[in-house]
Structure 1
């Protein structure tokens, strides 16, 4: 690294309250002026045995990680902030954008747009808290390490976080298997396919995604992610244009009339539908579960906020325009989730086809994050971690295979798009989007105070109140949100609006 990390100075009184404007700027936008506070947890045993007391700073740990990769065949800390931005774009500029028109139709256009901005701001804030935590603990490789640290080093916290981490990623993989099968069914709707077509298409997508998951570094994945984000942007741009130029939305009838757009929720909107729509918006923004893994492969993690700000601004613009415009032209009567189903057949197939790279890549990205979680713990300090060995590559492939088999099964058990989004959001985003980072903030401020670092009283009070509110919001997601998601699934099955599990019927849109 060209510049040394700026770690906590010995004379903390001289740096109270981030006294320099440059330091305040760095705390929001990153760079070499970042002040790195003290740890909340002791060094793990595997690190402490290799470091002297003078080498236990964040700078020393990071520099040792970089030095350990010099000359190895497979290097992990290679991402610039631009490559990390590409990973973020590929994660967030995704298929879930096409659920925004449906969410706006349920919530009303005005509340929908307001919630879009509010959720984006909350996710940006909690992501900056997460980044600060990772700077203090550069050995962190994924959110499971953080979970154990946040809850006072308890082993149960690590296991609980690990289960949620793997399930969340596997659900996202399942979502992409499901939508991949939807795409293939949409494109071949008029063709006769022998056997159980939807299950067969699910198998095809699963195999393709397994192959796409094989690269072992995020530096390589970022190149694929850049292409994925570009194709996704083209896809949603075409869908938005097509929604405006088509004569009538798909499914139009004189009885239903012209598209009806409402500024506020229509009378009779149920709590379950409203919560499901809100969870759809939240799910699209909340992706903090992967951020520790991305930061862990940055050569200079102080630069991460640049990636974060670029992605957040793009998200707000793209999500709001795509959601608002498509909803305006399809209305409450004809909007679907994903919104491709509201387009004429030709328009639908053209715009949906540009989504193919994302359907494959994003599931691959989450599979790779899960595989890293298992692989790095299994082969820590082993030759298989940094070298091309049969055992290393065989294990990596085997881990990926298991995750994709489970993803395929989930895609056949919960075979509908919006409800699968809502379940994932309520069960997992409550923790990884809110609760963890509210607790992280409180823990970090506590050790800062113990170390003698003073903060402005009003700012400290307001910040503490905000983070307590974030924890409460996460608890609301977990309890009420999960109830609404499960009830929505039950209602869909009872109404007969979705196919059963492992259905052979086409799920094309």
Structure 2
């Protein structure tokens, strides 16, 4: 069986090898049974030559912008507080190292997609790996993860509106307003339309963190910062899970590849994303922590004075909304494709198709709003999401995917052996993050339970 792991031997030669071996792999039998037939052949959107709605329309740069808007959003706002919790040196080392691993695991997902072109989401991956049970388990996990992440965007919207307006009205009212706005903006059915909004999202978050960095640099020029910080285990590991959340975009990668005009363009979009997010994460975390010190807020936009904070949150509103829309789109698209795959409703604007899409979007956002009102502490919500889901979707699962498509070749040569060990360790990394992270986030949520904020009109800026 071929090698799928090396992208450095020349892009054209490598892609030709992938195509050749993909064809061979689709004919592979194990114990007299085919591994899978459905996902070897079928594209999730079928033949779009005469389709009223075409899905495979994104260029690589549009995919890159969607990925940037999805990934570089709320995660970046928690990173300065991570440095305050565990120290400057370990925090920066973790941001870089986890980012590099996330780049590799994203590429592994791309390789898996080339082998199984019909895979559109994590549920499809689960069916390839474990049959119908795997489909239900990973499909449910994907939707739950996306809904929780949508909830974090509703929560951040309420924090932003309280900051901008000086808590002009009940926080629950801001949550309902955010719910309505996010529902309406999630109605487009294709990612290409969302990609244009993603450009505004990137400009938004970039400008907001720039305003914050300039603001804290002018106001607090010389606080005390620490290279390392002595802290409790649970608190330290909860901070690590916030870094993981900053790289939690992998859950949607299969959906993004499926809507590319040319799926082989995905590595370009991935490298573009990772270059931007690692660089921005380092700069923002370092600068904001350096000029704010141990009292840095999370989300980080709250670290500046009231005027700068209001301006920063105002500028950040587009990314708070648009990144939430992308997560909602992926969740809704999974359910929609699951219901209508192979029918005329996939590519037509029938009453059933439109009504179903609107209903799915509305239900998802209502559940997300309930989660946001129930877990009102920003870092605690991110930590829980990361521990339960991002640990697997960004890290652990990718190790399994590599081992699966390279089955029978694990110890073929020294290079294969090295990659087998590396991907086994990536799987173990995901398992460790999940188990330890759940403990740490549980401790944090319990300790913050007495601070109030759940289902209340109170100002939630301090609980963020």
Q: Give TM-score scaled by structure 1 length.
A: 0.84
Alpha-carbon contact 1:79-1:298 (below 8 Å) kept? yes
2:79 is matched with 100
Name the CA shift for 1:384/1:483 in 2 (closer, same or farther; >3 Å): same
Q: Is 2:456 aligned against 1:503?
A: yes
Q: Is 1:261–2:222 an aligned residue pair?
A: no
1:160 to 137, 140, 151: 137
Residues in 1 aligned to 2:195 and 2:234: alpha-carbon distance in whole angstroms: 37
Structure 1 residue 71, shift from structure 2 partner: 2.4
Inter-partner Cα distance in structure 2 for 1:264 and 1:93: 26
Match of 1:289 among 248, 251, 265: 251
**Structure 2 CA distance for aligned equivalents of residues 407 and 30 of structure 1:** 42
Structure 1 residues 327-338: aligned runs within 5 Å:
327-332=289-294, 334-338=295-299
C-alpha spacing 1:207/1:125, structure 2 compared with 1 (3 Å): same
Point out where structure 2 has 5 or more consecutive residues left out of the alignment.
29-33
Q: CA deviation at 1:211?
A: 0.4
Shift of 1:44: 4.2
Instruction: Give the aligned partner of residue 387 of structure 1.
Output: 348
- Give the superposition deviation at 1:176: 0.6
Q: Aligned pair in 2 of structure 1 residues 274, 43: CA closer, same or farther (>3 Å)?
A: same
Q: What does residue 81 of structure 1 align with?
A: 60
Alpha-carbon shift at residue 337 of structure 1 (Å): 0.5
CA distance in 2, matches of 1:85, 1:30: 22
Q: Tell me how far 1:24 sits from its aligned partner.
A: 2.4
The residue number in structure 2 matching 1:200 is 173
Q: 1:491 aligns with which of 442, 447, 450?
A: 447
CA distance in 2, matches of 1:177, 1:501: 14
Q: Does 2:128 correspond to 1:149?
A: yes
Could you report, residue by residue, the CA deviation over 1:181-237 in whole angstroms, capped at 9, with x for unpaired residues? Answer: 11111122264x3xxx11111010011000010000011111111111111111111
Distance in 2, matches of 1:341 and 1:263, equals 23
Which has the larger displacement, 406-415 or 472-481? 472-481
Q: Distance in 2 between matches of 1:17 and 1:290?
A: 25
Report the Cα distance in structure 2 between the residues aligned to 1:239 and 1:456, rounded to whole angstroms: 52
CA distance in 2, matches of 1:30, 1:407: 42
Distance 1:81 1:30 in 2: 18
Cα offsets for 1:341-381 (capped at 9, x unmatched):
21011111111111111111111111111111111121122
Alpha-carbon distance, 1:30 to partner: 7.7
* Residue of structure 1 in register with 2:31 after alignment: none
Give the superposed CA RMSD.
2.3
Contact 2:70–2:324 at 8 Å: present in 1 too? Answer: no
Find the partner of 1:173 among 142, 150, 161. 150
User: Once the 2 structures are TM-superposed, how far is the Cα of residue 65 of structure 1 from its aligned partner?
Assistant: 5.9
2:186 equivalent to 1:223? no
Match of 2:205 in 1: 232
Q: Is 2:163–2:313's contact at 8 Å kept on the other side of the alignment?
A: no
**Deviation string for 1:22-53 (max 9, x for gaps)?**
872329x98667555324764445x7xxxxxx
* Aligned-partner Cα distance in 2 for 1:232–1:500: 26
Q: Is 1:351 equivalent to 2:312 in the alignment?
A: yes
SS in 2 for 1:77: coil
Deviation at residue 148 of structure 1 after TM alignment: 2.1
Cα pair 1:423 1:482 within 8 Å, conserved: yes
**Structure 2 length-normalised TM:** 0.92
